[in-house]
Structure 1
Amino acid sequence: MKEKILDTATELFLNLGFKSVTMDDLAEELGISKKTIYSHFKNKPELVKECTLGLFHKIAHGIDCICKEDKNPIEELYEIKRFALLNLKNEKSSPQYQLKKYYPQIYATLHKKQFELFKDCVRINILKGMEQGIYRGNLDVDFVTRIYFAGMTSLKDEAIFPRSQFAILELMDNYLEYHLRGIATPEGRNILKTILISNQD
């Protein structure tokens, strides 16, 4: 039952937001009593924490699997973006923004874990791209890794990118292209062009 509660709560939080979903809503969705939920989770913050960390570990595992497929680094970043958005339901409710606002301690823990995962993943991606000649050879790897993470994080800040004006999918597509055009060699830009044309079809 605990796993079912976690799965349903995660789905509701992603679709409706952490603030909007109450324990009553969750109990009704599951067709159980709140008492049953509280027998597994002492309060809503504990449930939110387990949902967010569970989702993080699921996405981290998926990204690890993608990185082991030995795609070229540009294809790899697009595949990771697709996988993350699929699992975050295109972030309909801006979950990270709500998490930061209403559950700052949980957000801080998650943000730290995301940075560690991102730092390792993107660093390896950049080094591989430089070795293959599709990223420029003079890149400051640590700088590019951190600025890419900072930019991706800012896309989810509704004060900067309000959802009424910017769809998250379009934002991530634009930012990924912006990032890659800044670090790619002519050969890398040809690969990027092929992917962009393929994505339009």
Structure 2
Amino acid sequence: MEAKEKILSSAEELFIQYGIRSVTMDDVAREASMSKKTLYQYFDNKDGLVSEVALNHFQRETSEFEEIESQAKDAIHEILLVSQCLRQHVFRMNPSLLYDMQKYHGKAWDQYQEFKQGTIRAHIERNIERGKNEGFFRSGINAKVLSTLRVEGVQLVFNTKIFPREEFDFREVQLQILDHFIHGLLTDKGRKKYEEYMHLESTNHTR
């Protein structure tokens, strides 16, 4: 792994675990097993590092969403694959990460907003329209409204004033909101298909 890639990978892992504000350039250098002098050869400051880490992360997730969309058998299968992706990424993020990004790293926050609207919300909107055409999602649903609700719901859970960590388990709240969202979309036909997928997933886990 080249030095710059190692820095980006190390920084991303630290930000995910601890949030952004509490991680110093010394921490990143230590995690990447290099001197801070070497680190500063690639990044002038922490803000630039945060911005490039964010951009790389969003580009990878965009590719994942595109792959999911092309491989999914139907809209319900697609939304379940996306939920698996969320469990791998969002559910393990330190809850302070988005707050730190918004307050201290404006460029990275703008990149996140662009990714949220241009990739995530647009993907969910297409998924809802697909599900409506397949008869799995209710025909009266406004895809733009519900896709916006979904992306803002994911972000809402990061707000510790609304969901204090001493009262709520971050992962459990995300799962509950996702389950509520999916059931709000389904027709009777969709519910049966959803239960088939959930039964199949449960069977695979018990093997």
Q: Does TM-score exceed 0.5, indicating one fold?
A: yes
Q: What is the CA–CA distance in structure 1 between the aligned matches of 2:21 and 2:107, rounded to whole Å?
A: 15
Say yes or no: does 1:32 pair with 2:54: no
How many aligned positions are there?
201
Say yes or no: does 1:61 pair with 2:63: yes
Closer, same or farther in 2 for the Cα pair 1:172/1:88, shift >3 Å? closer
Q: TM-score, normalised by structure 2?
A: 0.88
Q: What is the CA–CA distance in structure 1 between the aligned matches of 2:154 and 2:89, rounded to whole Å?
A: 16
Closer, same or farther in 2 for the Cα pair 1:80/1:96, shift >3 Å? same
Alignment of 1:1-201 (within 5 A): 1-88=3-90, 90-197=92-199, 198-199=201-202
Compute the displacement of 1:44 (Å): 0.4
Structure 1: where are the runs of 5+ without partners? none
RMSD across aligned C-alpha pairs, in angstroms?
Answer: 1.9
Maintained 8 Å contact 1:14/1:88: no
Compute the displacement of 1:80 (Å): 1.2
Compute the displacement of 1:22 (Å): 0.6
Q: What is the CA–CA distance in structure 2 between the aligned matches of 1:122 and 1:51, rounded to whole Å?
A: 24
Structure 2: where are the runs of 5+ without partners? none
Q: What is the CA–CA distance in structure 1 between the aligned matches of 2:19 and 2:12, rounded to whole Å?
A: 10
Q: What is the CA–CA distance in structure 1 between the aligned matches of 2:100 and 2:13, rounded to whole Å?
A: 15
Q: TM-score, normalised by structure 1?
A: 0.90
Q: What is the CA–CA distance in structure 2 between the aligned matches of 1:81 and 1:111, rounded to whole Å?
A: 20
Q: What is the CA–CA distance in structure 2 between the aligned matches of 1:113 and 1:17, rounded to whole Å?
A: 19
Letter in 2 for 1:134: F
* CA displacement, residues 89-132 of structure 1 (integer Å, 9 cap, x when unaligned): 61135422321233244213312222111232111101110111
Maintained 8 Å contact 1:27/1:37: yes
Q: Which moved more, 1:131-140 or 1:149-158?
A: 149-158
